[in-house]
Amino acid sequence: MKRPFQFTGRVRSFKYAAQGLWLTLKTQHNAWIHAAATILVITLGFVLGISRIEWCLIVFACMAVWTAETLNTALECLADAITKEFDPLIGQAKDVAAGAVLLTAIAAVIVGVLVFGPYLHVLLFTSE
Protein backbone atom coordinates (compact mmCIF):
# COMPACT_ATOMS: atom_id res chain seq x y z
CA MET A 1 0.00 0.00 0.00
CA LYS A 2 1.37 3.37 -1.01
CA ARG A 3 1.68 6.05 1.61
CA PRO A 4 0.34 9.48 0.69
CA PHE A 5 2.71 12.33 -0.07
CA GLN A 6 3.79 14.15 3.07
CA PHE A 7 5.84 17.33 3.07
CA THR A 8 7.47 16.36 6.38
CA GLY A 9 8.57 13.08 4.81
CA ARG A 10 10.30 14.97 1.99
CA VAL A 11 12.04 17.24 4.52
CA ARG A 12 13.24 14.16 6.43
CA SER A 13 14.59 12.63 3.23
CA PHE A 14 16.66 15.78 2.58
CA LYS A 15 17.93 15.61 6.16
CA TYR A 16 19.03 11.98 5.68
CA ALA A 17 20.70 12.86 2.37
CA ALA A 18 22.62 15.71 4.02
CA GLN A 19 23.69 13.33 6.80
CA GLY A 20 25.01 10.95 4.15
CA LEU A 21 27.04 13.69 2.50
CA TRP A 22 28.41 14.75 5.87
CA LEU A 23 29.32 11.14 6.71
CA THR A 24 31.21 10.90 3.44
CA LEU A 25 33.14 14.08 4.19
CA LYS A 26 33.88 13.00 7.77
CA THR A 27 35.06 9.49 6.98
CA GLN A 28 36.60 9.50 3.51
CA HIS A 29 39.98 11.14 3.06
CA ASN A 30 39.53 11.20 -0.72
CA ALA A 31 36.36 13.24 -0.22
CA TRP A 32 38.54 15.95 1.34
CA ILE A 33 40.57 16.00 -1.87
CA HIS A 34 37.36 16.19 -3.91
CA ALA A 35 36.12 19.05 -1.71
CA ALA A 36 39.36 20.99 -2.16
CA ALA A 37 39.28 20.40 -5.92
CA THR A 38 35.64 21.49 -6.09
CA ILE A 39 36.39 24.71 -4.22
CA LEU A 40 39.43 25.32 -6.43
CA VAL A 41 37.58 24.90 -9.73
CA ILE A 42 34.62 27.00 -8.60
CA THR A 43 36.99 29.78 -7.54
CA LEU A 44 38.95 29.46 -10.78
CA GLY A 45 35.72 29.57 -12.78
CA PHE A 46 34.71 32.87 -11.18
CA VAL A 47 38.19 34.37 -11.47
CA LEU A 48 38.56 33.41 -15.13
CA GLY A 49 34.98 34.26 -16.07
CA ILE A 50 34.16 30.98 -17.81
CA SER A 51 31.05 30.74 -20.00
CA ARG A 52 27.69 29.26 -19.05
CA ILE A 53 28.38 26.11 -21.09
CA GLU A 54 31.78 25.75 -19.43
CA TRP A 55 30.10 26.09 -16.02
CA CYS A 56 27.75 23.29 -17.02
CA LEU A 57 30.70 21.07 -17.89
CA ILE A 58 32.51 21.88 -14.63
CA VAL A 59 29.38 21.31 -12.51
CA PHE A 60 28.67 18.04 -14.28
CA ALA A 61 32.26 16.84 -13.81
CA CYS A 62 32.27 17.76 -10.10
CA MET A 63 28.92 16.10 -9.48
CA ALA A 64 30.03 12.95 -11.32
CA VAL A 65 33.01 12.65 -8.99
CA TRP A 66 30.90 13.35 -5.89
CA THR A 67 28.27 10.84 -7.01
CA ALA A 68 30.89 8.15 -7.54
CA GLU A 69 32.54 8.93 -4.19
CA THR A 70 29.28 8.81 -2.23
CA LEU A 71 28.16 5.59 -3.93
CA ASN A 72 31.58 4.10 -3.20
CA THR A 73 31.18 5.09 0.44
CA ALA A 74 27.71 3.54 0.56
CA LEU A 75 29.03 0.29 -0.89
CA GLU A 76 31.89 0.23 1.63
CA CYS A 77 29.45 0.79 4.51
CA LEU A 78 27.22 -2.04 3.33
CA ALA A 79 30.19 -4.36 2.80
CA ASP A 80 31.53 -3.60 6.27
CA ALA A 81 28.08 -4.29 7.74
CA ILE A 82 28.12 -7.76 6.19
CA THR A 83 31.47 -8.80 7.63
CA LYS A 84 34.58 -7.28 9.15
CA GLU A 85 36.64 -10.27 8.02
CA PHE A 86 38.37 -10.33 4.66
CA ASP A 87 36.20 -11.65 1.86
CA PRO A 88 37.72 -11.71 -1.63
CA LEU A 89 34.43 -10.91 -3.40
CA ILE A 90 33.75 -7.96 -1.10
CA GLY A 91 37.31 -6.82 -1.71
CA GLN A 92 36.74 -6.99 -5.45
CA ALA A 93 33.48 -5.04 -5.15
CA LYS A 94 35.25 -2.34 -3.15
CA ASP A 95 38.07 -2.21 -5.71
CA VAL A 96 35.62 -1.87 -8.60
CA ALA A 97 33.74 0.93 -6.82
CA ALA A 98 37.02 2.71 -6.08
CA GLY A 99 37.93 2.28 -9.76
CA ALA A 100 34.70 4.06 -10.72
CA VAL A 101 35.73 6.99 -8.53
CA LEU A 102 39.15 7.03 -10.18
CA LEU A 103 37.63 7.02 -13.67
CA THR A 104 35.33 9.94 -12.88
CA ALA A 105 38.17 11.87 -11.25
CA ILE A 106 40.36 11.37 -14.34
CA ALA A 107 37.51 12.49 -16.59
CA ALA A 108 36.95 15.54 -14.37
CA VAL A 109 40.62 16.48 -14.65
CA ILE A 110 40.36 16.21 -18.44
CA VAL A 111 37.28 18.45 -18.42
CA GLY A 112 39.16 20.91 -16.20
CA VAL A 113 42.13 21.00 -18.56
CA LEU A 114 39.86 21.48 -21.59
CA VAL A 115 37.88 24.27 -19.91
CA PHE A 116 40.59 26.10 -17.99
CA GLY A 117 43.56 25.35 -20.26
CA PRO A 118 42.89 28.05 -22.87
CA TYR A 119 42.20 30.68 -20.19
CA LEU A 120 45.36 29.80 -18.29
CA HIS A 121 47.42 29.67 -21.48
CA VAL A 122 46.37 33.22 -22.35
CA LEU A 123 46.93 34.39 -18.79
CA LEU A 124 50.39 32.82 -18.43
CA PHE A 125 51.89 33.00 -21.91
CA THR A 126 50.43 36.05 -23.60
CA SER A 127 52.34 39.25 -23.01
CA GLU A 128 50.70 42.62 -23.35
Catalytic residues: 69
One DSSP character per residue, 61-79 reads HHHHHHHHHHHHHHHHHHH
Nearest-Å Rg of the Cα atoms of the chain is 19
Cα separation, 77 vs 93, whole angstroms: 12
Number of alpha carbons in the 13 Å side-chain half-sphere of residue 39: 5
CB atoms within 10 A of CB 12: 11
Cα separation, 29 vs 101, whole angstroms: 13
